Homo-oligomer: A and B are copies of this chain.
Amino acid sequence: MTEYSGSGDPKRSLELLWGVQERPKRGPKPRLTAEEIVRAAIALADAEGLDGLSMRSIADGLGVSPMSIYTYVPGKAELIDVMVDRAFGELTPPGDADWRARLEHIARDNWALFHRHPWLLQITMARPPMGPSTLGKYEYELRAVDGLGLTDLEMDSVVALVTGFAESAARVSVNAAEAERRTGVSDEQWWESVAPLLGTLVDEADYPLGTRVGTAAGQEYGAPAAPSRAFEFGLARVLDGIEVLISSR
């Protein structure tokens, strides 16, 4: 199952995101708080991935029964909304260097965030959680491209391009690391097991460029370096492309 942000009840989600629950007057002392549950859930997702995050496993970690979680959080969908917003809260403002350095900061900051919290990449954010950190993130990003002569729409597009690129590059990197962790087989070992089988089925001459470039890429970097090289390469191109636009103003 894919998880979606914004699929919970909007009102309950917003209350949770902005922390507007009033303390109840009667009833037993609560053993937990919603924030504690969110923190435990993030720690668990960091360690085990989103597939390892179940209401049962969260409850286990907190020493309560699974159904107790529902006292503090309406359901898993709303919980994930808050997890996402809290994770975005780790991002830092881009400072006041030139625009290129500011956008570079945003890209690197996002890249690092996705590596700290790989489960963010498994959440579909068509309807982002409208919490303080998500709104703050957008504000930071726009500030990085304000005053450059771009229209409002262009500012939005530039920010979306840079953050989208960072996400896309991080996805490749995280997926590679994840595949290694999950299977216990490195990219090199995987290729060494597939190549001989493939050799009996395929004529290399049918794929001359793929063979040549694939070999060159395999020789140049051992697997783990590749995704961060791709990030650096792509970031330079994207920023160059944005520079062409900005220079034309």
List A residues at the B interface (Cβ < 8 Å): 1-2, 4, 6-7, 10-11, 14, 18, 20, 50-51, 122, 124-127, 130, 132, 135-136, 138-139, 142-143, 146, 152-158, 160-161, 164-165, 167-169, 172, 175-176, 178-179, 182-183, 190, 193-194, 197-198, 201-202, 206-210, 212-214, 216-217, 220, 229-230, 233-234, 236-242, 244-245
Contacts and interface: CB of A to CB of B under 8 A. Distances in A.
A180 to B, nearest CB: 8
Contacts of A244: 237, 240-241, 244
A156 B217 contact: yes
A161 B237 contact: yes
A160 to B, nearest CB: 6
A152 B194 contact: no
A186 to B, nearest CB: 11
Q: How many copies does the complex hold?
A: 2
Nearest to A151: B216
Nearest to A135: B207
B179 A168 contact: no
Given A4-B179, A157-B234, 4 more contacts: A14-B198, A138-B210, A139-B209, A157-B230
A127 B197 CA distance: 15
Contacts of A126: 172, 175-176, 178-179
